[in-house]
Structure 1
Amino acid sequence: MKLVVDASVVAKWIIPGEPWEEEANNLKGAIVSGRVKAYAPTLLTYELASVLLKAVKRGVLKAADGIEALKAVGSLGIDLAPVLWEEVAEVFEEASSTSLTIYDAAYLWLSKKLDAALVTADGKLCKKGGRVSKVILLQDLKI
């Protein structure tokens, strides 16, 4: 099974006490075991680092733990796909037609490009993106 994962899902592997933490960790286990092949736009690296930095500033995570977590996620084998100049107009169109941010639209665009479902913990992305591609809310994911 191949899936596109967004930062809202990956962050739950790291930040303790998040809603749907168990479902997120089940997905992580499926990725590690090879039952799921995960993909994301390269944007994931920046979004995840930003989320972890906010957690550090809130006192939820230590900076050293955030750094180690980024390295650990990097070793999981999530295939990162760049959005090339020739493709960014498609991402823009997705954002425009769905009223999503460019960032969310990049995940949606990749899911369409790969013909893979997008897994997110973001209800708004699931609702709006689900009109144009297969989007699964993390709590509803069955693996």
Structure 2
Amino acid sequence: MNGTERPILLVEDNPDDVDLTLRAFKRAGVTRPVDVVRDGVEALDYLFAQGAFANRAGQPLPVVVLLDLKLPRVDGHEVLRRIRADPRTRLLPVVILTSSVEETDLVRGYGGGCNSYVRKPVSYTEFVEAARQLGLYWLMLNYEPPPTGAPPGARG
């Protein structure tokens, strides 16, 4: 992580989608650091500074979580449920970024408290444009909630 800049957390188990997302962000000019975890257990450990990520204790939460739904060990819906259930993370912006076209996933995602639901575009060009728009909105336009214990008006 670079200085005080909070990272983006990408929760994605498909290495090709991880590479595509990172390349798309780079091409779209998103310079924020991106931390990658490969399954739901790693995502929860990262966010709650436990297990393999216990060294994150005291580190700020990511600026936004990009969450795939179809994950090994703990699926994305359960990750979202646990994020929203904990006072430390309940306001954390979560964007479901998935290839799922199931309406039940869409409804369940919003019902679980996601801030946005984005279907991964099939073409690289469309994916780069989607990444650019995600970066512009979540990193430039959106006012994020303050970290726990931060004074009102503080920005990450």
TM-score range, shorter chain: 0.3 to 0.5
Provide the TM-score with structure 2 as the length reference: 0.33
Higher relative contact order (CA 8 A, sep 6+): 1
Which structure has more helix as a fraction of its residues?
1
Provide the TM-score with structure 1 as the length reference: 0.35
